[in-house]
Structure 1
Amino acid sequence: MMRSLLSSVLALCFTVGMVLSPASTAYALGGPLPPINQPAPEFSLPSNIGDRAISLKDYRGKWVVAYFYPKDFTSGCTLEAQRFQADLPKYISKKTQILGISVDSVDSHAEFCDSEGLKFPLLADEDGAVSKAYGAWLAPMSLRNTYIVGPNGVLRATFTQVRPVIHSAEVLQKLDELQPAG
């Protein structure tokens, strides 16, 4: 009993120390998150658009919303994609590119886009390497995390434990906060 209590107290102290330490790395369920206000991890992944790879650096000068999701055609992932698609004109007006990323294949992404009328690229992170770099990996799939990358390639915001039904609205609100007025 005493050993269990001591273990619990030590675990709590460690957790509090991790939260309060200014030099600590932020962690989510999928591992360490890339730091805010630092260059976002670069990537180049195959896409469902024109049989070509898409790289983060392709979008320098634009804002990027890179959203990671578990699997094409599942209820939560479909709802999240539908909400991003419904709000696509708002993202375009904010000079923001949406990129969906999961471990599904390019063929699965193409079918998913056709089925749901998605007009933004879905990228195939089949080995999970990019998901791991973004702290969005829980084998064998990507977690539902989203990252906003500024026009200069710097990570500006991170969303974990995303709720698909309201997530696009949350991202748009954060873009309003991050982007200069006018």
Structure 2
Amino acid sequence: MALKTGDAAPSFALEDQNGEMRRLDDLDGRILVLFFYPKDDTPGCTAEACTFRDNYANLTALGAEIWGVSGDDAVSHRRFAERHQLPFPLLSDKTGSLKRAFGVPKTFGLLPARVTYVIDQKGVIQLVFNNLLDGPAHVKEAESIVRTLAAG
């Protein structure tokens, strides 16, 4: 079942592109922008990731962490991050366990969806934004919610 605004985010632990374990529980009251994307180095995913990169300083200044997630392995993530100078972790969800925990749907029943979640300081989901075709819109929607949460 897909998670929605107001639901508690499930606890998780996944490795990023550098082999570092990333856990929701380690965020200690910080906001998390968690974006699921279909595949490294595809045009839409690159546009989305680069828009998060270009807005990274704004989001982190507001107290947010940004983590990307796809089913690609650490080697693919590392190449993707290096090629596009991505300053945030890319988590490898090879088994799809995190995608299933959040209830991320498949588009047209086939393609992994592009869904962004903003999780507040208490671990509650404050945004679920699902739009496969407009990756940069995910950043705009996330930043709006992060600003509201940061303001108190």
* TM-score, normalising length: structure 1: 0.76
Q: Is the 8 A contact 1:60 1:153 kept in 2?
A: no
Q: Is the 8 A contact 2:59 2:146 kept in 1?
A: no
2:79 aligned counterpart, secondary structure: helix
Q: 1:79-126, CA deviations, whole angstroms, 9 ceiling, x for partnerless residues? A: 000000000010111110000000000111001000000010000000
Q: Is the 8 A contact 2:4 2:128 kept in 1?
A: no
The CA distance in 1 between the partners of 2:110 and 2:77, in whole Å, is: 17
The CA distance in 2 between the partners of 1:106 and 1:119, in whole Å, is: 15
Higher relative contact order (CA 8 A, sep 6+): 2
1:45 aligned counterpart, secondary structure: strand
Residue identity opposite 2:8 in structure 1: P
Alignment of 1:116-135 (within 5 A): 116-135=84-103
CA spacing shift, 1:104–1:127, aligned 2, 3 Å: same
1:152 paired to 2:122 = yes
2:32 aligned counterpart, secondary structure: strand
How far 1:33 moved relative to its partner? 1.8
1:92 to 60, 68, 74: 60
CA spacing shift, 1:90–1:84, aligned 2, 3 Å: same
Q: Is the 8 A contact 2:13 2:24 kept in 1?
A: yes
1:54 aligned counterpart, secondary structure: strand
Q: Is the 8 A contact 1:109 1:122 kept in 2?
A: yes
The aligned counterpart of 2:3 is: 34
How far 1:46 moved relative to its partner? 1.2
How far 1:159 moved relative to its partner? 0.6
The percent identity for this pair of structures is 30
How far 1:58 moved relative to its partner? 1.4
1:171 paired to 2:142 = yes
1:54 paired to 2:22 = yes
Q: Is the 8 A contact 2:30 2:120 kept in 1?
A: yes
Q: Which runs of 5+ in 1 are unaligned?
A: 1-31
Name the stretch that deviates more: 154-163 or 61-70.
Answer: 154-163
The CA distance in 2 between the partners of 1:140 and 1:58, in whole Å, is: 33
The aligned counterpart of 1:78 is: 46
How far 1:70 moved relative to its partner? 0.2
The CA distance in 2 between the partners of 1:127 and 1:148, in whole Å, is: 23
2:98 aligned counterpart, secondary structure: helix
Q: Which runs of 5+ in 2 are unaligned?
A: none
How far 1:174 moved relative to its partner? 2.1
How far 1:133 moved relative to its partner? 1.2
* TM-score, normalising length: structure 2: 0.90
